Amino acid sequence: MSVKNVVTRLQEHYRYALVVFRELVKTDFQLRYQGSFLGILWSVLKPLMLFAVMYVVFVRFLKFTDGTPTFPISLLCGTCLWNFFSESTSMGMRAIVDRGDLLRKIHFPNYIIVASTTMGSMISLAINLVVVIVFGFFAHAHYTWRVLLVPFSIIQLYAIALGLALLLGTLYVYFRDVGHIWEVVLQAMFYATPIIYPISMVANNADFGWAADLLMLVPTTQTIMDIRHNLLSPEYVDTVWTMVGNPVLCLLPYVLSALILWLGIHVFRKRSQKFAEVL
C-alpha cells in the first residue's frame, strides 16, 4: 500500500470521526434542554441561581469573604468553573453506558462518546464565562493582558475533566458503584476547593495554614485559581506561584494534570474494545 493511500485512509477515518463527534455534541447539547420552557437559558440561570444562594448564605450571613471588592464575581466565576468540572466528569462517566446501543450499531472510536459529552459541558462553560465577564464590568473586575492566559488554563481544566471522565467511564461500565462513590468524592472536593471561601481564610489559620499550600497543589484548585487570577483580579486572587515558594512544587499540579489525562486515555483504550460485549 502506497503512502498516499495510507494518508487518504487516515483522512477519511478522522473525517468520519469528526462528523460523528460534531453530531453527538450537537445532539447532546440539544437534549439537555429539550422540553424545558427556557431551553438554553438554563445554562446561564442555573449557575446564577446557585451563585445567589451561595452569596447570601456564605458571604452575607457566614461572612466567608476576604473583604476584596472582586470576591462576589470571583465566587460566580468559581461556581461556573466547578459546575463545568462536576457536570463533565459525572456525565462523561455515564456516557458509555447511556449510549451502549450506539456502540453496537455504529463503528467509530468509543472515546468520541465521552469527548462529545464533555465538550457539551464546555459549551455551557463558554456561555457562563461570557456572563461572568459582563458582570465583571459592574463588579470591580480588573481586566489586564493576563486574560490572554485564560484559554490555556481552561484547556488544562478540560484536560483534567476529560481524563477523569475517560477513567470513570471505563470503571462505570464494569462497576456501577463508581457513580455513587464519585458523587461523594465530588462533594468532598467542592468543599476542599476555595470556591465559597477565600484561600486566605485557610492560609491565615494558625493551626491549618499549611493546608493552603497543599490545596493549591491540587490541579483543580490550581486551575480555578489561575483562571480567577488572570481573568478577574491579579491583585486579589492568589495562585500556586504566589503562595508556594518552591518553583519545583509549583509545577506539580501541571504535571498531575497531564498524568490524569494520560491515565484516562490509557485505561480507556485498553478496555474500550470489550465495552460492547459487557454492555
Measured CA to CA, the distance from residue 107 to residue 102 in angstroms comes to: 9
Residue with cell 464494569: 174
Longest dimension (CA), the chain: 71
Cell of residue 27, nine digits: 445532539
**Residue range 165-179: average pLDDT?**
93
pLDDT tens-digit map of 199-240: 988 888 877 778 888 999 999 999 999 999 999 988 888 888
Measured CA to CA, the distance from residue 205 to residue 159 in angstroms comes to: 32
Q: So what's the pLDDT on residue 104?
A: 65
Q: pLDDT category, 11, cuts 50, 70, 90?
A: low
Cell of residue 35, nine digits: 422540553
